[in-house]
Chains A and B, each alone.
Chain A
Amino acid sequence: GQNIDQPTEMTATEGAIVQINCTYQTSGFNGLFWYQQHAGEAPTFLSYNVLDGLEEKGRFSSFLSRSKGYSYLLLKELQMKDSASYLCAALDSNYQLIWGAGTKLIIKP
């Protein structure tokens, strides 16, 4: 079956760096998305990776290893507003999105 695994919850300190991991098993692979979702709000797009390697976008970076079925989202210089859930989703061979349950990130001052 198809599956996405990511930690349920993580805690980090304001100003620090945090890495949120995601592993996936899908029937084929056409890329991996990360979304941010603040409590009570809609998910918003952060990144898309289809090739191996690291893509940097300001304080946020996303990494993909296709051979390992693994991705991570790296958040630097954490701010209180980064407290949110981070959703990992893989695009399978039929271009259907397979979603993880999300990682709730708690930022402490």
Chain B
Amino acid sequence: IAGITQAPTSQILAAGRRMTLRCTQDMRHNAMYWYRQDLGLGLRLIHYSNTAGTTGKGEVPDGYSVSRANTDDFPLTLASAVPSQTSVYFCASRAESFNSPLHFGNGTRLTVT
């Protein structure tokens, strides 16, 4: 079934540890995004990639990094986790047109202790 796969589903992480959230899509979409979702706030864009080999910073990029070595994969890395990074993280992709809807993965629930 075509779609976006995120791993892990959930994770408890000690502060200061490094963590990579994985995201893979099989829809051949060029544009991919990482969002975090916190209670009472809208989805906030962390990083994005318009095509393989390029990445950009979103609204809340500090403490996060991404890479886009190929079309399918878009991992998000927390170099040294802090408690404020406790959140639900969603990876999303979009077809070529800017008015195409986003397709979301099922999310990763991350708790930093």
Contacts and interface: CB of A to CB of B under 8 A. Distances in A.
Contacts, number: 46
A100 B41 CA distance: 8
A101 B45 contact: no
Contact of B99 (A30, A35, A100): A30
A94 to B, nearest CB: 10
Interface in B62-111: 90, 98-99, 101-107
Interface in A2-55: 4, 8, 30-31, 33, 35, 41-45, 48, 50
A55 to B, nearest CB: 13
Contacts of B14: none
A87 to B, nearest CB: 7
Contact of A42 (B40, B42, B107): B107
B15 interface: no
A95 B45 CA distance: 13
Interface string B32-70: 000000001111110000000000000000000000000
Contacts of B90: 42-43
B64 to A, nearest CB: 17
A35 B101 CA distance: 9
Contacts of A91: 98-99
A30 B98 contact: yes
A96 B104 contact: no
A88 to B, nearest CB: 9
B108 to A, nearest CB: 11
B84 to A, nearest CB: 18
A99 interface: yes
Nearest to B59: A96
B43 A99 contact: yes
Nearest to A34: B101
Nearest to A44: B104
B61 to A, nearest CB: 14
B36 to A, nearest CB: 11
